[in-house]
Structure 1
Amino acid sequence: MSEQSAGRRAGRVMWVLFWGAGLLLATHFFGQWEEKKHNPNQVPTSSHGDGFIEVRLAGNGQGHFMSTGAINGTSVLFMLDTGATDVAVPAELADSLKLKSGAPVTLSTANGMSTGYRTQIDSLQVGEIVLHNVRALVVPGMHGEEVLLGMSALKQLEFTQRDGTLVLRQTITP
């Protein structure tokens, strides 16, 4: 093999590596961009006032309020749902969070009737708002990684929605 053909071959390899790296970076960038569109509250910020903690959440393009948070110290993705009576956790996620399934309950969902199981969340967090001993349901038929943040948690907070922003406020008693 001549020096010239070896040089061309090395040039082609470098060109392929360059384009491969470019595609990898573009995929990473657009994946993050898409996730930020779906969950604009990946790192929710909190503000403190006299006797309260407040978290402001931006709505996503579909009008949903999504937020990264934590259940028992493990990061989860919440979708706030004032129409849900309880916090609802998909069964697979509940297993990884080590939530115990208790008594069965019949659930009436948009997809019809199903069975869920009562459980208790020791600690639920959004921003610096922390709730303890929150009633929840493990839902076997629920797919995905999103936890519905229902009224069993939200009733412990004040919340208002205006201009695409949802404000959650926790009153702190001294």
Structure 2
Amino acid sequence: MKLRSVLTSLALAGAALFAVPGAGVATASAADVTPYVTKISHSQATAMFREVGITWSSSGGCSDRYNSTCTSFEQLNLASAQGAQTLKRASGCGLNITGGTEVGHASGTYSHWNGYKLDYSLGTCINSYVTNNFTYIGLRGDGAPQYRSGSGNIYARESNHWDVLYYNCGGC
């Protein structure tokens, strides 16, 4: 019985690390579990990007999360901002972010809106860094070639930018 008690305690402690939308701990399955993430504000993100020399731009010259022509970092996951910093430091490339958490991107759990993705301008340096240092994993459903970093983040080369899915900070 002691082993069962220990296992139950471990399971409950592990469950405390996760949010379970619409379900209690006892009824949740692995598919229902979404990890907790730390959200940051637009100003926190821009300070982090400035710190390492990352720039950002928007076609509308704005940062309103509810305007698709803006580039917003409101509600960005801390790990995504740290992942951008890691990419900048590791690659040494100039990075310009063109898409953040604003409306207008595809929906889903691991989406821009939910703070998991950033878009970067294409460039010779970053294009070469991704394709030479990360593992090609095939085409995404829309035909974009995808590469997986050593930490598991996914880089998809779309027609005019890199769409990066940050599961973690990339070794920060």
* Same fold by TM-score greater than 0.5: no
| Larger-gyration structure (1/2) | 1
Greater helix content? 2
Q: TM-score when scaled to structure 2? A: 0.32
Structure of greater relative contact order (alpha carbons < 8 Å, 6+ residues apart): 1
- TM-score normalised per structure 1: 0.32
